[in-house]
Amino acid sequence: MRHVLLRMTLLCLVIVSGAVVHAASGEQEFSKGENLLKNKQYGEARAALEAGILKDPSNIQAHFNLAEACRGLESWACAEQHYESALELDAKSGTKSYLPKTKAKVWRLREEMTVWRLLNEAKGMLASGKMKQAEETLDNANELGLNSEQQPLYQQLQAKLPRSPSASKRLTPAGSGGGAGGTETLDLQVVLVPGGKFTRGSTLGDDEKPVRQIFLNAFYMDKYEVTVGQYARYLEATDMEEPPDWSVMNQPQHQRRPVVNVSWEDAVNYCKWAGKRLPTEAEWEKAARGTDGRIYPWGNEAPSRLHANYGRKEWDDHLALAPVGSYEAGKSPYGIYDMAGNAWEWVFDWYELDYYNKGPEKNPIGPAKGEEKVVRGGSWLYVSDFLRSAHRFNAQPMNRHFGYGFRCAKTP
């Protein structure tokens, strides 16, 4: 009799523990949420899926479904976040994609949500009288590319801005042959970095020491990294050699993403053609961090997905790169975008480990010769440690790597 009772007790424990495991896995909530989503009951689906993700935050399908539910509710920040989570988890899986759509489709959905979020933020800014911030946010949305549903709202919000000589240019949606997102307009978007001293270097890397006050004359810096669309115009005008994988990069959906796979000489030649030059390493660092010694372009706060594009796992046909200007929260003190993450940026200087010890304190331009050039800013691929504005990296100047891009500077 005791044996029978013991066996029954063990069986009950197995059944109960199995039920607990099943309940803790979130599968019940995921299944319920998916069914509600199919019936377009977006609010209920969101609640069920969020409850499931609390139990199992690694479920790729659940994040995608939650993003779809949030999109149905026009909760753009939520949708953007969970499309992003689905992509990140999928990249980490190391196996065949679990996503119900192609990755390219999910990337496009994420970017579409980013534009909706920016339009919604601009609407709130206009309502509270923050006209300048609203104008900048609308410009960012325009540069990312507006679809046919977004264009009417963009036009309505633009119409509420005070009229200015550039208003008619802004009212033309990016990608329609003009507007703030056009490649010709991007060429003109430079920022004046005033002359004066700034704090160069840090104590975190041997090649970043010593920390010194460096004086620079005023200079202009491109507001954005050079894009595929801009580089395409250059190639068409000069008949120069195309970078590797150019046919993959030079697609309509990539025109506002940074051009990469370019060597140091490629970058020098483009800037010269554009009437500019590569920035020096010191100019790049000042443009990135300003004069207050901050760690990152945005300040001292640790990097997040709102600040920069970094830490991705695979190239995915240029979709690993974000369109320039996507990260409003990651701007430098001068309003310059993507100086952390997205693409490494070639600068003028040769690399030397102890150059900071012996270089001049006024307008340094690097060693007279060397074997490697300096790249700055980290990229879509690397960890957050590389995003520090003082971090130095060296590369063979002939390298054409899918993380190496650039921006140009100009002497006033």
Domains annotated for the chain, with CATH where assigned, are 2-100 (1.25.40.10), 111-170 (no CATH), 183-410 (3.90.1580.10)
Q: What is the DSSP letter of 323?
A: P
Among the listed residues 104, 45, 68, the one whose alpha carbon sits nearest the alpha carbon of residue 248: 104
Q: Name, of 1-5, 51-55, 178-182, the range with top average pLDDT.
A: 51-55
The average pLDDT across 60-77 equals: 86
What is the model's pLDDT at position 8? 44
Give residue 3's pLDDT band: very low, low, confident or very high (50, 70, 90). Answer: very low
Please report, for residues 123, 160, 171, the alpha-carbon distance to residue 126 in angstroms, rounded to integers and kept in the order given. 5, 8, 16
Please report, for residues 119, 138, 179, the alpha-carbon distance to residue 153 in angstroms, rounded to integers and kept in the order given. 8, 10, 16
Strands 404-405 and 344-350: parallel
**How far apart, in whole angstroms, are the C-alpha atoms of residue 325 and residue 103?**
22
- Beta carbons of 67 and 86 less than 8 angstroms apart: yes
What is the model's pLDDT at position 95? 56
Tens-place pLDDT, residues 81-139? 888 788 778 777 765 566 655 666 776 777 788 888 888 888 888 888 888 888 888 88
- Is the pLDDT confidence value at 387 over 80? yes
The average pLDDT across 54-83 equals: 86
The average pLDDT across 373-377 equals: 97
The average pLDDT across 209-220 equals: 96
Pick the residue with more confidence: 7 or 401? Answer: 401
The average pLDDT across 331-345 equals: 96
Give residue 259's pLDDT band: very low, low, confident or very high (50, 70, 90). Answer: very high
Burial class of residue 362 in the structure, from the number of CB atoms within 10 Å of its CB (0-12 exposed, 13-18 middle, 19+ buried):
exposed
The average pLDDT across 171-191 equals: 51
- Is the pLDDT confidence value at 372 over 60? yes
- Is the pLDDT confidence value at 20 over 80? no
What is the model's pLDDT at position 63? 87
Give residue 17's pLDDT band: very low, low, confident or very high (50, 70, 90). Answer: very low
Pick the residue with more confidence: 216 or 24? Answer: 216
**How far apart, in whole angstroms, are the C-alpha atoms of residue 292 and residue 280?**
20
Among the listed residues 410, 347, 412, the one whose alpha carbon sits nearest the alpha carbon of residue 221: 410
- Is the pLDDT confidence value at 196 over 70? yes
Q: What is the DSSP letter of 277?
A: B
Q: In this structure, what token pair is assigned to residue 389?
A: 């504005």
Q: Name, of 17-26, 67-76, 132-141, 278-287, the range with top average pLDDT.
A: 278-287
Q: Name, of 21-30, 173-182, 300-309, the range with top average pLDDT.
A: 300-309
- Beta carbons of 374 and 366 less than 8 angstroms apart: yes
**How far apart, in whole angstroms, are the C-alpha atoms of residue 353 and residue 366?**
11
- Report helix, strand and coil shares of the chain as percent, to nearest 5: 45, 10, 45
Report the range of poorest mean pLDDT among 60-74, 132-146, 332-346: 132-146
What is the model's pLDDT at position 174? 34
**How far apart, in whole angstroms, are the C-alpha atoms of residue 29 and residue 50?**
8
- Beta carbons of 379 and 401 less than 8 angstroms apart: no
What is the model's pLDDT at position 14? 37
What is the model's pLDDT at position 98? 64
**How far apart, in whole angstroms, are the C-alpha atoms of residue 119 and residue 125?**
10
- Beta carbons of 324 and 257 less than 8 angstroms apart: yes
Give residue 229's pLDDT band: very low, low, confident or very high (50, 70, 90). Answer: very high
What is the model's pLDDT at position 169? 38
Q: Name, of 18-27, 198-207, 313-322, the range with top average pLDDT.
A: 198-207
Q: In this structure, what token pair is assigned to residue 341?
A: 């993450």
User: Tokens 């490629």 appear where?
Assistant: 266
- Is the pLDDT confidence value at 7 over 60? no
Tens-place pLDDT, residues 133-162? 888 888 878 766 777 778 788 888 888 888
Q: How many CA atoms lie within 13 A of 261 on its CB side?
A: 17
